[in-house]
Amino acid sequence: MCSALAVVLLAVFVVVAVLLRTSHTGVVFEKSDQVAMIGIGVLLALGTMLFANARVKADATGIEVRNVLTSRRFAWQEVLSVSFPDGASWARLELPDDEYYSVMAVQAVDRERAVLAVRALRRLHKKATAS
């Protein structure tokens, strides 16, 4: 999804940049304006691709969550539960003191895959905290 959106964004900005010189709006657009429009498209496309960076790695000792810009590792003993609240876009780790950490790699739009991922994380959590 991120790749498709990035391509569309870049294409739109390139088309707008090309059409800047040919439109008759009364404003004079230069080559530098066209280059700037393409540059903005590139930056937006790259920003969109950051959302494809989300990952989750879990094992018997803990879970590592990488979201858009940050990565964090939790021992299973730090996590109270793995939840997916109604209406939420992605899963989350429930932490002490009413805090939580979003797991953007497990998204609601993934439907059955998200359900399986949450179940697997819950099994790992249960196994690690049972003793």
Residue 130 has a pLDDT of 87
With a threshold of 0.85, does the pTM exceed it? no
Question: What is the Cα–Cα distance from 15 to 4, expressed in whole angstroms?
Answer: 16
Tokens 């780790």 correspond to what residue?
A: 93
Q: Which residue's entry shows tokens 């790749």? A: 3
Q: What is the model's pLDDT at position 66?
A: 96
Average pLDDT over residues 42-62: 94
Contacts 24+ apart (CB under 8 A), 16-19: 17/41
Question: How do residues 103-125 score in pLDDT, each as one tens digit?
Answer: 999 999 889 999 999 999 999 99
Average pLDDT value for residue range 39-48: 96
Q: Residue 30 has what pLDDT?
A: 84
Residues 54-94 have pLDDT tens digits of 999 999 999 999 999 999 999 999 999 999 999 999 999 99
Q: What distance in Å separates the CA atoms of residue 65 and residue 52, rounded to the nearest whole number?
A: 13
